[in-house]
Every structure is written in C-alpha cells, then in structure tokens.
C-alpha cells in the first residue's frame, strides 16, 4: 500500500517570480534579506511546484511507493495570514476573506480528497478546489524550464553532503 505526502501549497505560485533567477544563484538570492517580505511567500510555493515537477519528470517517485502532490487548501478564515498588511490593502483583504475564504474544516477536506478520494490519480499533481489543476504557467515556458533546471542543480549541490542525488537515483 502506498504512503501519501500531500504538501500544502498556494495559488500565489501562479503569479510568483523568483528574485534574480537569471543573474545569480536562486538559493543565494532567496537568502538575501532584500528579497524577504510578502512576495517571498508566493516564491516559496513556486519552489514546491518546480521541485515536484522535477521529481516526476525524472521519475524518482513511483505512485506505488509514495503518492506525492501539492494541495491548495484555499484562502482561510480564522488564521493570521496577512496580519502585517496595512491600510487599504488590509481592508480589501478582510472583505475578500469575508466573501470567499473557507473554514479550516473545509480546507481540510481538500487534503482528504487528494489522499483518500483521488489517491494514485493525484500522484505528481497540483490540486486546488478538489480538482487536478495545471501547474503555474511559468513552468510551461522555456524560461521556466531553465529556471527549474538551475534550481534543481543548486538544490542537489546544497544537499550533496547528504547524497540526496544518490538517494533519489536509488529510488528509480
């Protein structure tokens, strides 16, 4: 029986841009305090999409072993997300939250759906609103492919001390 690894993600990955992804090492740019702040949340979620895509593309993880996917649970009520937003944007977000945000319980059903209901069908997928959805548009471009390959190389180098590449190769 397969295990499940459903990773919380966000639709903000669809509009995220990685800082300085063409001119410098991506992980170095993400470590730079000048790139910290609200846009970093979306960027962190985009990294998850890149990583899952490469795991699937390189066929490291089989659904028979581990069903792995990304889940967008939706914008949630009852959380402190966006607590640092001020002014008119804060008012707009409060209104948006009141109109469309889900309860934590409803959001939890997206996880149950992706693991129990969808099962192996959801392997390697991005799930939102209880459906398999396309990855962010940037992943389907040459720039996205180049960025993904660059980031994958940096990640493998960063975790070289733990022989992550060897571990992944052994999983094939």
Question: Which of 4, 41, 54, 150 is the catalytic position?
Answer: 41
Question: Which of 4, 22, 34, 45 is the catalytic position?
Answer: 45
60 belongs to the catalytic site: no
Reduced to 3 states, what is the DSSP secondary structure of residue 171? helix
CA distances from 82 to 42, 77, 151 (A): 13, 11, 28
Structure tokens at 83: 């607590």
Handedness of CA 76, 69, 42, 134 (dihedral sign): negative
Helices and strands, counts by H and E, the chain = 6, 4
41 belongs to the catalytic site: yes
Q: At what angle do helices 142-158 and 164-171 cross, to 10 degrees?
A: 110
Which positions are annotated as active-site residues? 41, 45
């Amino acid at each position: 029986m397969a295990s499940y690894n459903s990773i919380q993600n966000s639709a903000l990955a669809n509009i995220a841009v990685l800082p300085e992804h063409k001119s410098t090492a991506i992980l170095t740019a993400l470590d730079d305090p000048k790139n910290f702040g609200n846009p970093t949340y979306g960027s962190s979620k985009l990294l998850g999409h890149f990583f899952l895509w490469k795991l699937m593309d390189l066929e490291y993880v089989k659904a028979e072993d581990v069903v792995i996917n990304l889940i967008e649970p939706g914008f949630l009520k009852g959380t402190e997300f966006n607590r640092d937003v001020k002014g008119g944007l804060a008012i707009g977000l409060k209104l948006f939250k009141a109109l469309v945000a889900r309860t934590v319980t409803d959001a939890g059903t997206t996880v149950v759906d992706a693991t129990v209901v969808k099962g192996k069908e959801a392997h390697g997928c991005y799930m939102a609103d209880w459906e398999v959805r396309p990855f962010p548009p940037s992943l389907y471009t040459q720039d996205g492919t180049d960025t993904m390959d660059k980031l994958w190389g940096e990640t493998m180098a960063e975790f070289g001390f733990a022989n992550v590449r060897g571990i992944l190769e052994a999983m094939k």
